[in-house]
Amino acid sequence: MLGSLGGAYEPLVWVGVFIAVVTPLWAIVDAISRPKAAFKDAGSSKALWLTLLIATWILTILIGLVLAVVYLAAIRPRVRKATQKVAGVSAALA
């Protein structure tokens, strides 16, 4: 099925393809679900990250995967922390 990559390596190739498709999707869904204010509080831009993640994932899977890993490892923790602060302020005002 995969030509010279077939045989014993074929399952590894499929695992790699799965990771290259699912990881950017996870990053995109996560970025969409976070409030814009949380990105701002984290010193980043929701629009910028969504544009980068979607465009690079569509144009080049490999760069999209790299940016998704950067987002999930470096940006997401800061935005997640800021999301909790934004939610805390909203709850306090209610």
Mind giving me the DSSP string for 15-80?
HHHHHHHHHHHHHHHHHHHS-HHHHHHTT--HHHHHHHHHHHHHH-HHHHHHHHHHIIIIIHHHHH
- 15 found inside a domain: yes
Its domain, for residue 80, covers: 9-86
Element (H, E) at 23: helix 10-33
44 assigned to some structural domain: yes
**Over the chain, what is the mean pLDDT?**
87
For residue 7, what pLDDT is reported? 76
Give this prediction's pTM: 0.76
In 3D space, the residue among 53, 24, 49, 41 whose CA is nearest the CA of residue 79 turns out to be 41
**Within a domain: residue 4?**
no
Q: Per-residue pLDDT tens for 33-79?
A: 999 999 999 999 999 999 999 999 888 888 999 999 999 999 999 99
Q: How far apart are CA 79 and CA 68, in angstroms?
A: 14
User: Is residue 92 in some structural domain?
Assistant: no
Q: Is residue 91 part of a domain?
A: no
- Going by pLDDT thresholds of 50, 70 and 90, the confidence category of residue 15 is very high
Residue 93 forms part of a structural domain? no
Answer yes or no: is 47 within a domain. Answer: yes
Report the number of distinct structural domains present in the chain.
Answer: 1
